[in-house]
Amino acid sequence: MGTNWTERRVVVTGLGVVSPVGNDVESFWRNLIAGACGVDRITAFDPAAFDSQIAAEVRGFDPAPAFPSPKEIRRTDRFSQFGVHAAWQALKDSSLDLEKADRDRIGVFVGSGIGGLSTTCEQHSILLNRGPGRMSPFMIPMLISNMASGLISMYYGLRGPNFATCSACATANHAIGEAWRTIKMGAADVILAGGAEATIVPIGIGGFCAMRALSTRNQEPKRASRPFDADRDGFVMGEGAGVVVLEELESAKARGARIYCELAGYGNTADAYHLTAPSEGGEGAARCMRMALQTAGLRPEDVSYVNAHGTSTPQGDIAETQAVKAVFGEHARRLMVSSTKGATGHMLGAAGAAELVACVKAIETGIVPPTINLEKPDPACDLDYVPNQAREAVVEVALNNSFGFGGHNATTLVRRFVG
């Protein structure tokens, strides 16, 4: 391991997604570029009493293929089921032979912004109505935010570095960035990284409604999540998971792996400003993007595409637009910037991983996913947001932005792999 850590290169060799527009990478990508929308009226519970009655739910999901037994599924919260399934997909996609691999050198960094909220709700109800003696002994293992990461390592015997990030909506992007850093430093050769979230439960929707953060366009669910549009009125709750297999280049080459692209840069900053609002002019986000470029050794004009955090909130979309302009200057006008949250809603702690998959696929396929529902551009949001229709374009370098409550900022940078 005598190599200078900066000389170790990290590539993406596997992808996995569970999302409101598809429960595998193929359907997720096909629906994204077709402009499909996963938002509809909530079916998980009766939302009639709530200001926001819509969400982007994961539908038709079967956790069974990714789990060792039905008993294991029953002892697992929905967010962990999503995370385990996305990891199972990503491992299969990577063709990594675990029987031949050194599992001490394979890690898992899969985070969650909120963790097992449905378990918390169910068990709290049991406590109030039936008493503490009827609570599940699995309550704590089911609800803690690190359990998706823990289960993935247990099911596959992965004994390398393992932890779960928790930074609200920046969670998955932080997990991927910290995994990149860990591989660069030589502490692991392969890491499964990403995030998982499942908060479409009464207390989750109710809490975000109380903040007035959610769209109340209940009569038009398909048009409710509208990043950068003048008529946006808040985000739409989403759920799901994304996991990518990150691998040190020589490891990937030695086993003849298919390399999607190179993960070349990472930024991680704080706004140090407000509980929920972005810093003035998107200053923290701008520093984050600059850091990602700097660690990759690239110039702003090298970037082809930015997958924006773009949540469809009044303040956030403007701040991110200002940040992009501050970082890219004149090149901001030539950049393609799109938010896939019009389609998926806001997957919170899973968003950054699903959106990195979109960046990887954009590089691979030469198609940039659109920002759907952008019908009436906000004068303060005046960049090329690839409105409503996917676009064929060569993508050499893509930036992926995630910004979370608490002022957490994360940007990852992927580029076309050149051997």
**Residues belonging to the active site:** 169, 309, 346
Which letter, b or e, does each residue of 193-214 get, where b requires 16 or more Cβ atoms within 10 Å of its Cβ?
bbbbbbbbbbebbeebbeeebb
Q: Are 343 and 332 in contact (CB under 8 A)?
A: no
Strands 391-392 and 367-368: antiparallel
The kind and range of the H/E element at 143 are helix 139-143
Q: Are 337 and 324 in contact (CB under 8 A)?
A: yes
Structure tokens at 110: 């899969």
CA end-to-end distance (rounded Å), the chain: 21
Instruction: Supply angle C-alpha 6, 252, 3, rounded to 5.
Output: 30
Structure tokens at 228: 């950068």
Tokens 């520093």 sit on residue: 287
| DSSP secondary structure letters along 250-281 | HHHHHTTPPP-EEEEEEEEEE--S-SSSPPGG
Report how far residue 246's alpha carbon sits from residue 244's, in angstroms, rounded to the nearest whole number. 6
